[in-house]
Structure 1
């Protein structure tokens, strides 16, 4: 049984592909979008439980993308991925109701634990296998 659905929004191909493969092997339904525009299309068709959002994206940044998604869809949680460790990014994340920021590079096990917690917080019907 699936742990839940995750939309990965990551423009760096190797990282995005690796995250998707890791999560699929761990029982998640993992979709991948390479830009904010791609993420908007993916959310419209897939209704993910949690979004794993990169901060720096081509076109719209992660916060703009999340705002556009939430304006159109009743989606659940978001975890931000970033290499920026400044207080401004953390403050913006809180303003966008993002509870967790993962600083690149991060451990895949840490990412998955936050996904499990976010999915449980959102009551997405997921369970740990």
Structure 2
């Protein structure tokens, strides 16, 4: 029997935590629910998860601190934040930390499930695609970017975005098309999120001056590769 993917859910709202736990279990996930950041910290240090769902505001250790520990323990573990609708600064902070997604309260469990599925959709597809861009090797199936003996583990969303740019290298992609493909919808605030990810990818690729992610004003984004 195939083992269920294990998810860590950290949510101090008693009712919401119970609803999400039951809903995700109904959809074939193994869910561990923690009510506080301190409890979750102990789990993170001793367990591994396919995905972590972190409420930003928690008693004790907050969601951002938990995310830092997740990244230090295993940088490839995807995580998403649950945040209050009026805390957009928290969303930007979370994305800069490497969060794969966020969802604002209140929300329907179905929306959370779709976001989880989008993050994990390639986990079992057996893809073994390795791309060469300049001096870099990009292993999409493992979310890894390598230059010589230096290796960087990407988040799932970073990998999705980089693959889209590579598949369309030296071609300008409309911002709206990138957002719909990688984020699922074209939205102004998601556009801010995309800019954060573009900035990170630029830094990752800066070691090879033959590669550049160009912003074409009023049009979109292009991965320029001079081979």
How far apart are the structure 2 equivalents of 1:57 and 1:75? 23
Q: Is the CA contact 1:77–1:118 (under 8 Å) kept in the aligned structure 2?
A: yes
Mapped partners of 1:34, 1:63: distance in 2: 15
Residues 76-95 of structure 1 deviation map (CA, whole Å, 9 limit, x = unaligned) = 11111111433311210111
Instruction: Please report how far the alpha carbon of residue 73 of structure 1 lies from its aligned counterpart in structure 2 after TM superposition.
Output: 3.9
CA deviations on 1:39-92 (whole Å, 9 max, x unpaired) are 122223431111111010011211111112322345511111111433311210
Q: Is the 8 A contact 1:2 1:27 kept in 2?
A: no
TM-score w.r.t. the length of structure 1 is 0.84
Cα pair 1:5 1:29 within 8 Å, conserved: yes
Cα displacement (A) at 1:23: 0.6
Q: Is the 8 A contact 2:37 2:62 kept in 1?
A: yes
Distance change (3 Å), C-alpha of 1:74 and 1:7 = same
Stretches of structure 2 that go unaligned for 5 or more consecutive residues are 126-227
- Asked if 1:50 is matched to 2:31, the reply is no
User: How far apart are the structure 2 equivalents of 1:119 and 1:4?
Assistant: 10
Determine the structure 2 residue equivalent to 1:38.
39
| TM-score, structure 2 normalization | 0.50
Match of 2:80 in 1: 79
Are residue 90 (structure 1) and residue 54 (structure 2) matched?
A: no
CA distance in 1, matches of 2:56, 2:20: 16
Q: Which has the larger radius of gyration?
A: 2
For structure 1, the 5+ residue unaligned runs are none
Using CA pairs below 8 Å that are at least 6 residues apart, which structure has the higher relative contact order? 1
Q: CA deviation at 1:2?
A: 5.1
